[in-house]
Amino acid sequence: MAASDQRDVTPTEPCSFSFPAQTLSLTGAQTTQLLVEPPWRPAVLWDPVTLTCQGSGTDDATTWYKDGQLWGQERHDHFTVTESGTYECNRLSTGRSPPVRVLNARLVLQVPARELLEGDTVTLRCRGRENMSVTGVRFYHGDKEVGRSLNGTELSLSPLQLHHSGRYSCGGWVDSKVAPWALSAPVTVTVHELFTVPVLEGPTEPNVGSPLNLSCLSTPSTLRPQAPLLHMFHHDRQVVGGPQGSPQLVVPAVGVSHSGNYSCEVRSKVGEVRKSSAWLHVMVRMPVANATITPGPLAHQVHIGDPVTLRCSVQVGSAPVTFTWLHNRQEVAQGPLLELGAVDVGHSGTYQCVATNQLDGHRVFRALSPELVLSVTLRGHWAVAAGLSGSLLFLLLAVIGGWHQWHHRALRKQQER
């Protein structure tokens, strides 16, 4: 504000303008309520203001208070205000009501006298005493200016959001020859949640083929419990359900493709209030299948002394997966790797692995790999033996051939003689 602005403010305590118009409190317990007509708070003395006390018990059991002091002994449940001040009423069965202020200031900012919820449309109005004209109106939320108008005197908040809660005031030029600039007393605007932020609940590790039921849980305000709400469901940011009135998403039988991140959104049919849940990660559990051993192929030939390591893996199967190794159908090891090291002839034979996992904490699934036939041979020994046998045979044939030729020559010489 400029230093020349003069503030004509009636000394008051900031008051909240979110009193319920019903006779039931938020917790369901019956309380005493003080209703004001016309339904604006704070009320102004230049309006014909009527206060009505509501609560259990008979009307003649009403006691009134003004500015914290017992005010007369009127036993009626309502009366028309003729003096500014802070009013309360008391009923024997339900106690004292929240206060209602009636002001006679030069400038007053008024808020509708009802509960304010997200999505509502609400208008704040800045009024001069005795309905004097007000120009150059400025509206403030705390210390921040949030609107101004040369001739208008109203500020619309639509749709209401939680951040609209706080203390509001207005300033303006009032049609008066003395101290024409005035600033209203602050009033407190309280915006209640229409519904809570939703929470998505459901099984996070369903088994393949089983149903998936997700619930989008949000609690509506007790001030408006019948407010119509719509629900929408997302899977990895793609819409998979809604908008719908039901808070349930049902998948009859899940598969691997149903794994991922899910969230839900709740929104009001009126007022465009939207709230989203946190992500819920769902992992569909699969039985183990298609166990294989690497390296392949099914018949594998190695030599004595070669290092051999076999690995078992599965194509599908939810963790944790355990592995068991069989050599000639006898269990020999556990784990995904079978390290034989430098093999010898005793490692020859058939190898298989058995993959196992457990679903639901009790159902066990197994997958048996095809057999791997491992053949361990002597490196080069058979080749040397084969070469040696060939040389001896050649030598023997050569000897036999030579002897045959010598014998043939000897016979010819003998015949010639």
- Cβ neighbours around 180 below 10 Å, total: 17
Length of the chain: 417
pLDDT of residue 393: 47
End-to-end CA distance of the chain: 157
Summarised one tens digit per residue, pLDDT across range 89-101 is 988 878 889 999 9
- Confidence (pLDDT) at 411: 62
Q: Are 78 and 51 in contact (CB under 8 A)?
A: yes
List the chain residues with pLDDT less than 70.
1-30, 57-60, 72-75, 176-178, 271, 296-299, 380-417
SS (H, E, C) 311-349: EEEEEECCCCCEEEEEECCEEEEECCEEEEEECCHHHCE
User: Which of these, 379, 364, 283, 280, lies nearest to 322 by C-alpha position?
Assistant: 364
pLDDT value of residue 149 = 81
What is d(CA 84, CA 66) in angstroms, rounded to the nearest whole number? Answer: 9
So what's the pLDDT on residue 45?
94
Instruction: Give which of 383, 373, 387, 381 is closest to 302, Cα–Cα.
Output: 373
Side chain identity at 333, as an amino acid letter?
A: A
Within its chain, how far is the Cα of 288 from the centroid?
31
Write down the pLDDT at residue 151: 78
pTM here? 0.69
For residue 360, the model assigns a pLDDT of 76
Nearest to 20 by CA among 31, 11, 9, 5: 31
CA 80, CA 253: separation in Å to the nearest integer?
67
